[in-house]
Chain A
Amino acid sequence: VSDRGEIADLQDAFIRRNALQCGFCTPGMLLAAQDLLADADRRARGGAPSRAEIRKFLSGNYCRCTGYQAIVDAVEAVAKARARP
């Protein structure tokens, strides 16, 4: 997915927001976030997921370095950017 550029906006947001330290959990975080944001039913309903929804969706992924604030920030920024027409 990196080479296809499919999640380039998520990767950029993670880097910009410093949402990764060691990077061990990052691939899982990115793919889970993409799963949330690319969900067809959600897109049909329109609108970006809330911070609470993002947190709940990522709750199965552990990060032992940065904490979750920056990760949720990054996903939220991309969700809003993608929801714009």
Chain B
Amino acid sequence: MKITDDVPSELSALDRPNSYIGRAVPRPNLARLAQGRGQYVSDVVLPRMAHVAFVRSPHAHARIKAIDAGAAKAAAGVIAVVTGAELAKVITPWVGVLTHLKGIKSAPQHAIAVERACWQGEAVAAVVARSRAQAEDARALVAVDYEELTPVTTPRPRSRPTRR
């Protein structure tokens, strides 16, 4: 039986068998990093820069019934409080792919949870403020009403098709 790919693919250099597995890969940036000369997100300062703090789900699986951001929006320094549903109107979900494993792709992932949080710590709302301290203070004022759902703790599907 001949097996054909569902996605026709052109092989890249990375697809050669054992082209980089088991070999030392050059790291040209190491000398700079070992001298403390790396640049990280927390080093970046830009004009009119704002800071964000995320409200995160305390539950492994929960339906987001309501988000009350009124008090947070009125707090000092707050520019905006954005929920997943609001953000989904302007940002399409991200789908992860791997150039060296063609055909594999992740389920669509929203930047902020929409309707349902699927892991403990998933972002449920973003609080944007003039300073990080103000964003974190206002985050504490966001009230989220959750309905806890059963956590999914196994990779197996919860319902399987019946065998005949």
Contacts and interface: CB of A to CB of B under 8 A. Distances in A.
A2, A11, A23, A30: residue with the most chain B Cβ atoms closer than 10 Å: A23
Interface of A: 2, 11, 14-15, 18, 20, 22-24, 26-27, 30
Contacts of B36: 2, 23, 26-27, 30
Interface string B23-41: 0000101111111111010
A15 B46 CA distance: 32
Interface residues of B, number: 12
Interface string B9-51: 0000000000000000001011111111110100000000000
A23 B37 CA distance: 9
B40 A14 contact: no
Nearest to B35: A2
B34 A24 contact: no
A23 B27 contact: no
B99 to A, nearest CB: 21
Contacts of B37: 2
